[in-house]
Amino acid sequence: MKKISMNALDALFAKIASTMKLYAPIEKAGQADFYEWSAGEKVRLDVLKTVKSAKDVFFPQVEDLIKFRVEGKSIELNEAPKCEDDFVVFGVRGCDARSFELLDRVFLVDPRDEFYAARRKHGIIVTLACGEPEESCFCTNFGIDPANPCGDASAWIVGDELYIEPRTERGAKLFAELEDADAAPVESAKKEISAIAEKLPFANLDFTGLDGEHLMEKFDDPAWERLSKACLGCGTCTFVCPTCQCYDIRDFDTGHGVTRYRCWDSCMYSDFTLMAAENSRHTQLQRYRQRFMHKLVYFPSNNDGLYSCVGCGRCVAKCPQNLNIVKVIKALGGKKA
């Protein structure tokens, strides 16, 4: 176990950033998100939930894939460069750290996404325990421990000190020069965090029947009409979600060539997967059902029972209509239709 004064973090960040890129929860325009750190930035380790998750570091909201120019009968192709250098993502909560494992099951299987794979290879993840989990949190339903998150190194804020436990060789190397510390304060903090997590309102959701064995029963459940009725199709839930991975690929004519890029998309949009004939899902009910059936039924049935949700609670907090995955679990779980 290592420790460092909270007042000395800027010096630690500066040292890390002198040799590699460093991403951390940084406040901009009054909100915290993961951005590349530079001197003078306001790091907010006290913010439990960044607006978007740290997913953006590995799977950017917008990224170039290839550029090409056509002149006569010749074509010039230039693939966008892939990540080749190590970087650090500091302050990742346990729920977001689990989301990387779920995204791996999408992007690291054939056909493998080499852009994502390169970032995962070079990313060093430093997680941060949740000092006070909020009422919208429900990560413990998915076997995530907010008091003891995984990562290359894990950190706990105890008073005016930051305690860090390296868990991998890369994590140990990153913090090798920090002062050694007694783990007793961290063990006490873990107990306090766990006690709070156990009392949260969504701590014990019932997932009975939400599995591949009851696919058609859940698909045809009449509750979908009631649940989806107020949905605006705004896509907010998908953009703040750590595990959503839908994207679109588009071409942009720069006037000097064409840039092919990809950008996040949402299954909640009426033009998602729009084809020449039509959209395969005509109504908001169908689109709403697709989103949550994927997370709670389709994904676990194909991924060893793992749900495509980490209980971060961002959708609970951000949906303008107070629609979220917890309401779906309560409506469809706990029963076999």
114-136 pLDDT, tens per residue? 999 999 999 999 999 999 899 99
What is the number of structural domains in the chain? 2
Query: Which domain range does residue 158 map to?
Result: 2-198
For residue 227, name the pLDDT band (cuts at 50, 70, 90): very high
Those residues whose C-beta lies under 8 Å from the C-beta of residue 273, and which sit 6 or more positions away, are 267, 279, 280, 281
Q: Kindly report the CA angle at 88 between 237 and 244, in degrees rounded to 5?
A: 20
The stretch 217-230 carries a mean pLDDT of: 93
246 and 297 housed in the same domain: yes
> Residue 205 domain-assigned?
no
224 and 138 housed in the same domain: no
pLDDT of 268 higher than 90: no
The stretch 290-311 carries a mean pLDDT of: 94
Task: Among 148, 169, 198, give the residue marking a domain's end.
Answer: 198
276 and 135 housed in the same domain: no
Q: Copy the structure tokens of residue 217.
A: 């029963």
Mean pLDDT, all residues of the chain = 93
> Residue 225 domain-assigned?
yes
pLDDT of 278 higher than 90: no
Rg for the chain, CA atoms, rounded? 22
pLDDT at residue 256, as a whole number = 85
142 and 10 housed in the same domain: yes
Query: In angstroms, rounded to a whole number, what is the distance separating the alpha carbons of residues 329 and 121?
Result: 34
Closest by CA position to 313, among listed 160, 138, 150: 138
Is residue 158 a contact partner of residue 186, using CB atoms and an 8 Å limit?
yes
Is residue 122 a contact partner of residue 87, using CB atoms and an 8 Å limit?
yes
Sign of CA dihedral 237, 243, 247, 252: positive
For residue 335, name the pLDDT band (cuts at 50, 70, 90): low
For residue 11, name the pLDDT band (cuts at 50, 70, 90): very high
pLDDT at residue 73, as a whole number = 84
219 and 171 housed in the same domain: no
> Residue 304 domain-assigned?
yes
